[in-house]
Structure 1
Amino acid sequence: MKIIEVAEQQRWDDFVTSHLEANFLQSWDFYEFHKNRGKKIVRRAVVDDKNEIIAAYAGVVETAKRGTYMAIAGGPIIDYNDKKLVREIFADIYRAGKEAGCVFVRIRPQLPLSDRSLRLMQELGLKKAPMYLSVEYAGILDLGKSEEEILAGASQGFRRKLRKAEKNNIEIVANAEKWAIEEFCKLEKKHAERQKYVAFSSSFLTKQFEAFAKNNEVLIYTAKKDGEILAQNFMIFYGAEASYHYGVSSQLGTKYSAAPLLHMAAMREARKRGCRRYNLWGIVGLEEKSHRFYGVSEFKRSFGCEELKYTPAHDMILSPVKYQITKIIETARKRKRHV
């Protein structure tokens, strides 16, 4: 086995998409987005004696006042049953983090939560992170089911909203043109003000959109009535998964129940592209009624989705003393934000 830096997009994406559990979090274009933000990125792989990739991970180095760290979301992509390979790649993650001057490396593996997965993290010397990294609890729809089967599994409330929307003469448009992300950014600011959260910057959303648009991996779905935008979904299509990355709506969009129509249209496109699952992205537990995402989680559950818990983010600690500062700050921040 040998560790290499991967410089060819096709080679990288061919390996990542050959793993059904993978999604855009380890895609080439997601890290092109981070590069365009001025961030240092790492793309490394283990190759065998035939120079074939057998494991890989991509990470982004983030700078913060409390200390520099590397984030590896949805990775590494690896056969976790191969203990030798796992040790090899986690040792390389340690080296890469040290080379980048990191206090710690935060890893949220694309691995379903189980007692076995938690033991593995412990055996590798990782500690559960005080803050999440990307989605750890997701709602998943099986696109092997027909539209009729999915609707049969949805709640009565969801089907009622869908029927209502279908009677409202709502137009659904999907494209990757510049105007779509511009409108999305405008609507997101209004949505954030109404829902009382901090909006992403237009630059952040636009750069992300542009990175995925280059390879036809993104579409903005827009619901309109009488020329007015009601709601929009930012969808990413990569490998086996279609991801509902972001969604925004106006007050009028809520009134006319536009959101279900956007999702049904995106699911049809996902099937055309050969996607196997539709990821509704983050949800929170039924008991977490004070969580700020509880309401949107209930909406996602109304689809009748399966609930998938990933192994939560764990930290590979490279500088124990400095890491304690991060742990104190992030623990306090998590309580304050109710996340």
Structure 2
Amino acid sequence: MISEIEDKTVWDTYLNQCTRKTFLQTYEWGEFQKELGKDILRLAFFDGNNILQGISLVIFERTPFGTQIYLPRGPLMTTETPDIYKSILNTLVEYFKVKNISCIKVDPAFTEQQQIAKVPSTLDFKHSINFIQSETNWMVDLVGNTEEELLTWCKEHSMSKNYPAYIRKARREGIDLSFSNNLEDWKLFHTYLQKSGERKSFDVRPLKYFTSLHKYFSQNGVVRLGVARRNGNILAMILIAVYGDEISCLYSAQTDIDTKLRAPMLLRWECMLMGQREGIKRFNNWGVLPEERYKPGNPGYGYSQYKRGFGGYLEQIERTYEYVYNKKLYPIQRLYDRYIKFRYYRYR
């Protein structure tokens, strides 16, 4: 059985009952998506005894091939078993069969090694050509209670031998670190991110994306903007999401001031230490190149090397799955997706 949830308190209660947590399934993320012009639903799934099995935010995406729905890092489950996952997916397919939807996309962040990750393939779901959320993430476990304990773990997990010295030097040079809820700082971050995008040839989301993030997440501490300054000048900024057991690095930018001081490195490291103090278990650097593409000639080698330099391990997430209702258009959709992959993601 499916129930559409509108009340924030009810949604938060259900979310807290789920095994894994993600800011992409919070009530606020749904409001944020609506602010960006998307239609959404918040669905709760129950078994025959009216016991909660799981939940998921559903985002409607209009495409050339019809309206698709996307479950960002969902569905979430109260108990993660193949049977419950299968039950939720079957319920989803039946529920949207009569709602003029062309495709369902799910990606609940199971790793490739987990048996439960393969459940969709038994129900006529197919792997998408392209991923939506990052699927090759570089992780750091925020172990211990002191910087020395975390540093020891990182060194044991292939931290670059130069990173500790760079971090100490940045501190000696008087770099000040803080977090800002000021909307003008968030706008400034977007400006610096655009400049980085121009230098490194990547697209940046519009300003409204970041001002809307500020509107829904800055006051509750889920999304935080870190700023590194020296002598009143901004050297680097980082946007992180802090939720459940994980900190996720969403975006980062560096200005052209004192670049040799490696302020971005110190800022990211201090975010890890902050997470350690708050009892958070992991720091997710998000996307890096997979092992088979991690080569100096790849355009993504630089940022991947930088993230890997902190030490840690690669977590390979199962590719997004999709269930298609409109079988006639599906071959054309797959062809289009391959074009998108070649144009934007061929190096990944």
Q: Same fold (TM over 0.5)?
A: yes
Q: 2:123 is matched with which residue?
A: 124
Q: 1:75 is matched with which residue?
A: 74
Q: How many residue pairs align between the two structures?
A: 337
Aligned counterparts of 1:117 and 1:48: Cα–Cα separation in 2: 19
Alignment of 1:180-199 (within 5 A): 180-199=185-204
Q: 1:214 to 1:224 in 2, by over 3 A?
A: closer
Question: Is there any run of 5+ residues in structure 2 with no aligned partner, and where?
Answer: none
Alignment of 1:28-67 (within 5 A): 28-47=27-46, 53-67=52-66
Deviation at 1:189, TM superposition (A): 1.0
Alignment of 1:1-339 (within 5 A): 2-19=1-18, 21-47=20-46, 53-78=52-77, 79-83=79-83, 85-114=84-113, 116-117=115-116, 119-146=118-145, 147-152=147-152, 153=154, 154-252=159-257, 254-288=259-293, 289=295, 290-337=297-344, 338=346, 339=348
| 8 Å contact from structure 2 (residues 239, 252) kept in 1 | yes
User: Which range moved further: 287-296 or 28-37?
Assistant: 287-296
| 8 Å contact from structure 1 (residues 43, 58) kept in 2 | yes
Q: 1:329 to 1:179 in 2, by over 3 A?
A: same
Q: 1:28 to 1:144 in 2, by over 3 A?
A: farther
Deviation at 1:115, TM superposition (A): 6.7
Q: 1:257 to 1:28 in 2, by over 3 A?
A: same
SS of the aligned residue for 1:156 comes to coil
Letter in 2 for 1:284: L
TM-score with structure 1 length normalisation? 0.91
Letter in 2 for 1:134: Q
SS of the aligned residue for 1:299 comes to helix
SS of the aligned residue for 1:68 comes to strand
| 8 Å contact from structure 1 (residues 150, 303) kept in 2 | no
Residues 66-98 of structure 1 show CA distances to partners (whole Å, capped at 9, x for unaligned) of 432111121111234251x22331123224544
Deviation at 1:171, TM superposition (A): 1.2
TM-score with structure 2 length normalisation? 0.89
Residues 20-73 of structure 1 show CA distances to partners (whole Å, capped at 9, x for unaligned) of 533212222212111111211121112357855331111211112243211112
Deviation at 1:202, TM superposition (A): 0.5
SS of the aligned residue for 1:252 comes to coil
Deviation at 1:117, TM superposition (A): 4.1
- CA-based RMSD of the aligned residues comes to 2.2
Letter in 1 for 2:149: E
| 8 Å contact from structure 2 (residues 19, 76) kept in 1 | no
Q: 1:16 to 1:138 in 2, by over 3 A?
A: farther
Q: 1:145 to 1:301 in 2, by over 3 A?
A: farther
Question: Is there any run of 5+ residues in structure 1 with no aligned partner, and where?
Answer: none
| 8 Å contact from structure 1 (residues 189, 199) kept in 2 | yes
